Amino acid sequence: MPRIHTREFPWSSPPDLNRRENSIEAAKLMVNAAHTAPVRGGEDHVEAELVWGEKEQEEIAEKMEELSYLPENKLTGEMYRIEAVMAREADCILLLGDIRGRNFPFDANCGICSGPAGCSFIYSRRKTTAGQVDHSDKSLSKTMIDGPLCQIYVEGLGYSVGSALWMAKSLMVDARPFMTMGVAARKLGYCPASEMVVGIPVATTSKNPFVDVHYDYSVTNMRRMVESLRRNYIITRQFGLDYRRFPSKRSKHEKKED
């Protein structure tokens, strides 16, 4: 009979990879929950991508660290760097995006976007033809997210994120939504039809890696500490005496046994 052995450590060992497979299966069910979340008008508006693997997660983490040093992110720079560690520590990352908020306003004249009635707050900031927004026009984009966005669809994305998190809770996996991961993933080409993307890292570990995080975590996280310990141990062991020329003193107990 096949046996599936799981452990959290050592990282990337076969038992650890077996454990991560469980998180990936849970994340796939979270995608289902996101797609079936309540939405105004019953229109599909969500796209999802599931990312896992050391290379792929490292790419997102490095992009987050790169964005943290941009002038426009001066106030949120530390947030980007700390949450980049969480992108690395996650078993996988679920990305949820809204495909309609930028280019297809709901045209309900609701004013939820805080702009003038008639959705002109969005249309006046886009190049339009025959009443349709030109999705290729990025000339007015001066922020990390090219707004304004139709808030009806953005709220709908919130319902999808909430449904995905509810599924995570039901499946007993740790998950938490992050704007920073979504922005970085969007810059890398994930969820290409969406302007607003939310990243949800997923993990099944004994300690939730997405909470109880202190300042300077980008430098003092566990992986950095373990690597520092390995380096220091390798260096300091070279200062000891050679065991062949200087055998250790035998204990009194060992001498009595002789």
pLDDT tens-digit profile of 113-164? 777 666 777 767 777 776 677 666 666 667 788 778 888 888 999 999 999 9
Mean pLDDT for the stretch of residues 237-253: 74
* pLDDT at residue 230 is higher than 80: yes
The mean pLDDT value of the chain amounts to: 88
Q: Domains of the chain by range and CATH?
A: 14-213 (3.40.109.10)
User: Are the C-beta atoms of residues 171 and 69 closer than 8 Å to each other?
Assistant: no
User: Are the C-beta atoms of residues 175 and 200 closer than 8 Å to each other?
Assistant: yes
Q: What global pTM score does this model have?
A: 0.88
* pLDDT at residue 166 is higher than 70: yes
Q: Is the dihedral of CA 9, 23, 197, 115 positive or negative?
A: negative
User: What's the CA dihedral at 60, 65, 68, 70 to 10 degrees?
Assistant: -90
153, with CB counted inside 10 A (0-12, 13-18, 19+), is buried
**96, containing H or E segment:** strand 92-98
**CA pair distance 77, 83, nearest whole angstrom:** 10
